[in-house]
Structure 1
Amino acid sequence: MNTQRFIELGEGLGDIFELCELIRTNTGRLHRAFIFTTGDGGVLSPAAAFDPAGEGNYMPIYICREGIRGGGGESARITRFREAAAAAGATPVTVEVRRSTDFSDRDQYYRHITGILRLNHLIPPLG
């Protein structure tokens, strides 16, 4: 059974650096990189899912939730994230999601995203 859980890093520039460093130091475990977008030019959330460590069944998905404004040109933070993913051999998948403020709590928000990722076979199903 695979358990996927989101781990929030924060919304600032330093948090993007941390996410990029996680990708660089765990290149062999990187399952997939994502850029979640609200689709309305609103906000972007870069994220990276890693395969379970060792014999574990826990798949962490690190995310910088809604910390980057969309619209206009690509921000330097998204460019850095794309570069880190490319260096690990991955191209981030853009996935349109609803804003976290559309949900009564973050747990519901992350269940929403997890459902979208499973439905599109971007992360493994439960079981």
Structure 2
Amino acid sequence: MIQRFIELGEGYSDLYELIEIAKANQHRLLHLMAFHTELNGRQVTSLAVVLQLTDPGKFQALYICREGIPNPNFRPNKRYDLFKQTAEELGKEIIQLSVKPSNLFHEKELYYQHLIAILRLNHYIKPLH
């Protein structure tokens, strides 16, 4: 089984692609997530779409727009509202977690491994077998 984050960007125009991925894959949609953090003194949010494992192949894609959206708990914004509207249309709740910022990690891949570990520990995605 492979679980991998696929970064689309920081959530500007690529947020529309993230939303389209969720809508086009409703049959595989597992979670919509918001990762809140503080980055360089700013409260920001990463938005993610988590899909079910492929069968065959056992690949789990986690699409993300990383740390480019203002945290809606501090500053309401239209980009988060669009994601929330999508969640409502698809009958999903947005799972919100507070996490460390990506700049604390030497490499982006280490950051994504950290997020995958958090998701596994909280049973949002399957553990490795």
Do they fold alike, i.e. is TM over 0.5? yes
Match for residue 9 of structure 1? 8
- 5 Å matches for 1:1-127? 2-38=1-37, 42-70=43-71, 72-127=74-129
Tell me how far apart the structure 2 counterparts of residues 83 and 53 of structure 1 sit (CA, whole Å): 26
The amino acid across from 1:80 in the alignment is L
TM-score normalised by structure 1 residue count: 0.92
Aligned identity (percent) is 38
Q: Can you give the 5+ residue segments of structure 2 that lack an aligned partner in the other structure?
A: none
Q: After the TM superposition, list the runs of 4 or more consecutive aligned residues in structure 1 that deviate by more than 6 angstroms.
A: none
Deviation readout 1:57-86 (Å, 9 max, x if unpaired): 000000000011225332111111111122
Residue type at the aligned position of 1:27? Q
- Is 31-40 or 46-55 further displaced after alignment? 31-40
Measured against aligned partners, the alpha-carbon deviations of 1:86-116 in whole angstroms (never above 9, x if no partner) come to 2222111001110000000101100111111
Mind listing any 5+ residue stretches in structure 1 that lack a counterpart? none
Structure ranking higher in strand proportion:
2
Counterpart of 2:48 in 1: which secondary structure? strand
- Which has a greater percent of helix? 1
TM-score relative to the length of structure 2: 0.90
Tell me the matched-pair count. Answer: 126
